[in-house]
Amino acid sequence: MIEIEFIIGSLEIGGAERHLSQVLPVLKSMGISVRVLVLSDKAPLKPIFDKANIRVSLGPNLDRMPSFPRKIIRFIISLTRLMTGFLRDRRTIRHAFLPEAYLFTAVAACLTFFPGFFIMSRRSLSNYQKRRPFLGKLERFMHKFTSKALGNSQAVVEQLYEEGFQKKKVDLVYNGIDLSPFQNLPSKKELRKSLGLDQESLIFIIVANLIPYKGHEDLLNALGRIYLKLPTKWKLLCVGYDAGIQEQLEVQAEALRIKDHVRFLGKRLDTPSLLSASDIGILCSHEEGFSNAILEGMAAGLPMVVTNVGGNAEAVANEHTGFVVESKNPVALADSLLKLALSPESRIKFGAAGKEKIEQRFTLIECAKNYAAFYQSLKK
């Protein structure tokens, strides 16, 4: 039996964490032994793993400690936990997700001369390294001690090559989503009624936390350019938690005279229903790895307008399942949004093509199968 320990900083409700919470139960059902080591004690997603009988080992709660000593103690404890595990178990495959877990795991593997397979997963482009150049250099240095690297888009894979990974040591496994939340939903009319949305409105939707690099400012500027050409009734639904910029965006919307058309919904658990009740999906981020938000929009049958960053263009085929525009370009974004807004036929055509693409290439089962094939290749 293949045995894998997945290592991650937390089980907060983020993209990589949700990805593991969906994929690991499927891998376990395929006969692969999986467990999770979490460096912190932050784990709101842990009940999902508990339900699937997947063992999760959490770090200690250090919240009562002052900030500086807390960081030092957390560093020591995390490294000790990993090194102890490497010394006790030399055979299990270790698979680290996200930069923090990767660095801790790589250092522990080196210090214990771990002879087995150590894998890193890169889930985004490496722009974060520019913000922390020392850690970026350390991460690139540790690549030479890493058995394999996995990217979730071709754009990420190309960056891994540039950072020094040999091509034979890098593989690509695209994200996949669970389609069941999008099946057997009520009609769009019923969904809008239950969600308090106007039946006649043209509804745009963006599912992205309110973080500057997600491009909400660009989106508001784009809509501000075209709002007089849009149908009288239109709404923009912004789904995602506020990381501190919502007030700024509200001021911007008011200055652009579109505030009454914009609704900030915060974190929601009914995203599939909101997507299925909408007309046009948007992701206008400045950086991205491979976005599940795009896949979910396509699964709901929405035409997507996305920026040409990361793997966005690998999911959305320009002028086939939506439009791909340059990032930080509100003019180009506005033009594509207006084209779809004024063409119900294109919305239906692109939406149907996108849904078919998801069902063929980006399901959760397909993703899990690709992971399983990757782990089997290590065994061989």
Residue span(s) of the chain under CATH 3.40.50.2000 come to 3-176+364-379, 180-361
DSSP annotation of 143: G
Mean pLDDT of 168-178: 95
Mean pLDDT of 320-340: 98
Helix (H, G, I), strand (E, B) or coil at 324: strand
| Half-sphere exposure for 103 (CA within 13 Å, toward CB) | 13
pLDDT of residue 67: 84
Mean pLDDT of 145-158: 94
* Type of residue found at 234: W
Contact in structure between 362 and 315 (CB atoms under 8 Å): yes
Buried b (16+ CB within 10 A) or exposed e, 90-101: eebbbbbbbbbb
- The whole-angstrom separation of Cα 164 and Cα 78 is 27
pLDDT of residue 272: 95
Q: What is the pTM of this model?
A: 0.86
Q: Using 50, 70 and 90 to split pLDDT, how confident is the model at 126?
A: confident
In tens, the pLDDT along 41-71 reads 999 999 999 999 999 999 999 988 888 888 8
Contact in structure between 307 and 215 (CB atoms under 8 Å): yes
- What whole-number percentage of the chain has pLDDT above 90? 88
Helix (H, G, I), strand (E, B) or coil at 183: coil
Joined tokens for residue 278: 């909408």
In tens, the pLDDT along 175-230 reads 999 999 999 999 999 999 999 999 999 999 999 999 999 999 999 999 999 999 99
Could you tell me which CATH class the domain 3-176+364-379 is placed in?
A: alpha beta
- The whole-angstrom separation of Cα 97 and Cα 103 is 10
Q: Is 45 exposed, middle or buried (0-12, 13-18, 19+ CB in 10 A)?
A: buried
Helix (H, G, I), strand (E, B) or coil at 36: strand
**More reliable by pLDDT, 373 or 269:** 373
> Do you know the residue count of the chain?
380
Mean pLDDT of 285-307: 95
Please give the CATH topology (third level) of the domain spanning 180-361.
Answer: Rossmann fold (3.40.50)
In tens, the pLDDT along 244-283 reads 999 999 999 999 999 999 999 998 989 999 999 999 999 9
